Amino acid sequence: MRNGEIIERIPFPSPNPGVELSLLTIWSSGFKVKGFLAEPKGEEKLDGFLYLRGGIKGVGMVRPARIAQFADRGFIVFAPFYRGNRGGEGNEDFAGEDREDAFSGVELLRHHPRVNNQRVHAFGFSRGGIMALQVGVEYSSITSIVTWGGVSDMILTYEEREDLRRMLKRVIGGSPNKNPEAYRYRTPLYELEKLHAPVLIIHGAKDTNVSIEHAYRLEERLKKLNKPVKTLYFEEFNHVFPPADNRIMVKELCSWMNNQNRQEHLQGE
């Protein structure tokens, strides 16, 4: 069975009358994984949008209204819950092997009959920022990447978030001192040479969940490698933006995505 292949599709109540929502079970490297698919009504070809959630387990779970918001901007959106969640098989391991669920999401969108020329964008919020970068490293064909309040360095996360250390030790297998390779494996900063897609970084300076240092380190590394990057930093915002500002940002990032022509960034590939 092919990664990203749909095993089961169940209609799900949509918060937007112009968007059809489905609860999918897909195949992902040996596991049945759940996720939401949001499709604007109609037959026109659209770009694919891989929505990579933050959090772990029930914290930060995908909200139908959120992915419908992006679908309403003209994208075919798939949002995996990650393995082990909502009846899915396997165990989530915080950007470790569960990155395969993001890769399977790319495959699902690339094979979707309405996705335009296999154009797929990766969007990651919080922990999903790591996953989006991992997608860009794995797929040179990804069209663009957005990381919003995104993690970029797992060792920095361990150092900053004392409240998460117990969970990180359990899921990853110890602390960075005990198991440094496991944290490095989850930190795409070390593999950005393989990334070709343009990157948009969105971050609030007052973010106490994921410090803006994550954004600075990502920006610095991308610029050092001469990779295309745009930053939108906001001095007044924390991890979650106010609703009105959130809507403005969704409109802006979707416009930026639609304007990306990846061929402009592949000279010499």
Catalytic residues: 126, 239
Cα separation of 160 and 182, whole Å?
18
- Mode of pairing for the β-strands spanning 75-80 and 144-148: unpaired
Sign of the CA dihedral 120, 125, 128, 132?
A: positive
How many other C-beta atoms are found inside a 10 Å radius of the C-beta of residue 166? 9
How many other C-beta atoms are found inside a 10 Å radius of the C-beta of residue 249? 17
Residue type at 252 in one-letter notation: E
Instruction: Give the distance, in angstroms, between the CA of residue 117 and the centroid of all CA atoms in the same chain.
Output: 20
